[in-house]
Amino acid sequence: MADLDAAFSALADPTRRAILARLALGEATVMELVEPFELTQPAISRHLKVLEGAGLIVRRVEGTKRPCRLAPTAVAEIDQWLGMLRRALETNYDRLDGVLAAIKPEK
């Protein structure tokens, strides 16, 4: 449950979400990820470190490059946790449905 802190707070940053959206199109090196942003390379490197720490990406070593790609682990954890909320929301919705169904006929 502690990893969820890292995963959710990694996703809370719009730059990091944009990086993930880029990686959804396929692997990219650090410099390729720097290019579309108005941020310096060290800034992107730190965002990547955060994403890696959260289990959202993994990196290979390829000579002097470090291509990044999406990793499934954090997304799975998040999905699992959100499942709890989804189920509760459905249940509450059903309950509301029940209430409405009970009220309507009396009207």
- By the criterion CB under 7 A, which residues form the site for DNA? 9, 12-13, 15, 29-32, 38-43, 45-50, 59, 63-67
Q: Which residues contact 34 (CB under 8 A, 6 or more apart)?
A: 40, 41, 44
Q: Of DNA, a second copy, none, which one sits near residue 43, judging by CB under 5 to 8 A according to partner kind?
A: DNA
Q: Of DNA, a second copy, none, which one sits near residue 41, judging by CB under 5 to 8 A according to partner kind?
A: DNA
Q: What phi, psi does 56 have (nearest 5°)?
A: -95, -25
Q: What phi, psi does 86 have (nearest 5°)?
A: -60, -45
Q: Of DNA, a second copy, none, which one sits near residue 63, judging by CB under 5 to 8 A according to partner kind?
A: DNA
Rounded CA gap, 29 and 24, in Å? 13
3 state SS of 73: helix
3 state SS of 69: strand
Q: Which is nearer to a second copy, 93 or 99 (CB)?
A: 93
**Binding stretches for a second copy (CB under 8 A):** 1-2, 4-5, 8-9, 11-14, 17, 20-21, 23-26, 69-70, 72, 75, 78-79, 81-82, 84-89, 92-93
